[in-house]
């Protein structure tokens, strides 16, 4: 009798684990199902962790959309970041990284940029600005557009590179009860709202337009 009850409990537990795994996989893979219409020639996929990915085009830029789960900083709730990358040539040879609320554990952000720049006074005081040689001029050109982008508290990072740029924004924050009691990670997000992706795309395209225009030094050189 006792053996049979034990076997039944084990079978129920195993079935529950299987169902939970299937639900988790379906949830991760379906997060971007409502957003495919935001891009031209959209292609939905999954990364190695099973999270949904989305590729396509908007305007003249190739777009790559993916998620980054982050639970490395134990003093805060886990975060689910949305990364939107726009691939298009920009009029710069430098790299510029603008990071909000740095905690030293942002594994998704470049950490080998050699120069630290002072953030403009109108920006949030918890902004870290780093880059390569020449990024100071890039920062001056991008500052007005970046000011508008950073006004959204969900924005975590803006990375500008010669071949495009990447925005990292908060998609969801881990459920407090699950994390504080069990250290489990559960994001209260069924699917990503198209409005969030649309806002990131608009911000990215605004910055692309700003940085695609030749700087004053380049225009003067061409005029000469």
154 token code pair:
């969900």
**Alpha-helical runs (H) found in 41-173:** 135-150
| Assigned domain for 24 exists | no
pLDDT score of 24 more than 90:
no
What pLDDT, on a 0 to 100 scale, did the predictor assign at position 181? 45
**What are the two backbone dihedrals, phi and then psi, of residue 62, each rounded to the nearest 5 degrees?**
-80, 135
Alpha-helical (H) ranges within 30-132 are none
- pLDDT in the model for residue 162: 95
> Which range is least confidently modeled, 67-71, 124-128, 194-198?
67-71
Q: Considering the domain boundaries, does residue 122 fall inside one? A: yes
Burial of 178 (0-12, 13-18, 19+ CB in 10 A): middle
Give a yes or no: residue 10 inside a domain.
no
Cα separation, 216 vs 141, whole angstroms: 10
pLDDT per position as a tens digit, 136-164: 999 999 999 999 999 999 999 999 999 99
Q: What is the mean pLDDT of the chain?
A: 84
Residue 67 or residue 212, greater confidence: 67
pLDDT above 90 for 199: yes
Tens digits of residue pLDDT in 53-73:
999 999 889 999 999 998 776
Question: Which tens digits make up the pLDDT trace of 27-46?
Answer: 999 999 999 999 999 999 99
pTM confidence score: 0.83
pLDDT at position 212 is 82
Residue 19 lies in a domain: no
Residue owning tokens 């684990």: 17
pLDDT at 214: 62
CA–CA distance, 213 with 224 (Å, rounded to integer): 18
In a domain? residue 71: yes
More confident residue, 95 or 176: 95
> Residue 16 domain-assigned?
no
Look at residue 1 in the predicted model and tell me its pLDDT: 61
Contacts of 105 (CB under 8 A, 6+ apart): 70, 72, 73
How would residue 23 be classed by pLDDT, with cut points 50, 70 and 90? low
The CA distance from 19 to 24, in Å, is: 9
Q: What's the domain range around 216?
A: 31-223
Report pLDDT for 26: 86
Evaluate whether residue 1 is within a structural domain. Answer: no
Mean pLDDT along residues 210-220: 61
Distance from C-alpha of 70 to C-alpha of 216, rounded to nearest angstrom: 40
Residue 177 lies inside a defined structural domain of this protein? yes
Domain count, the chain: 1
């Amino acid at each position: 009798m006792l053996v049979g009850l034990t076997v039944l409990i084990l079978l129920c537990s195993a079935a529950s684990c299987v169902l939970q795994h299937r639900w988790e996989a379906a949830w991760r893979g379906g997060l971007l199902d409502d957003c495919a219409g935001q891009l031209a020639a959209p292609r939905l996929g999954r990364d190695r962790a099973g999270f949904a990915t989305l590729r396509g085009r908007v305007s003249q830029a190739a777009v790559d959309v993916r998620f980054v789960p982050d639970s490395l900083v134990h003093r805060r709730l886990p975060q689910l970041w949305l990364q939107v990358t726009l691939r298009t040539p920009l009029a710069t040879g430098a790299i510029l990284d603008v990071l909000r609320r740095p905690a030293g554990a942002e594994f998704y952000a470049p950490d080998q940029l050699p120069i630290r720049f002072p953030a403009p006074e109108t920006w949030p005081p918890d902004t870290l600005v780093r880059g390569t040689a020449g990024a100071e001029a890039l920062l001056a050109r991008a500052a007005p557009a970046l000011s508008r982008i950073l006004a959204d508290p969900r924005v975590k990072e803006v990375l500008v590179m010669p071949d495009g740029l990447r925005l990292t924004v908060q998609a969801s924050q881990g459920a407090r009860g699950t994390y504080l009691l069990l250290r489990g990670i559960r994001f209260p997000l069924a699917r990503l709202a198209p409005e969030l992706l649309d806002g990131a795309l608009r911000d990215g395209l605004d910055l692309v337009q700003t940085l695609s225009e030749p700087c004053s030094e380049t225009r003067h050189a061409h005029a000469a």
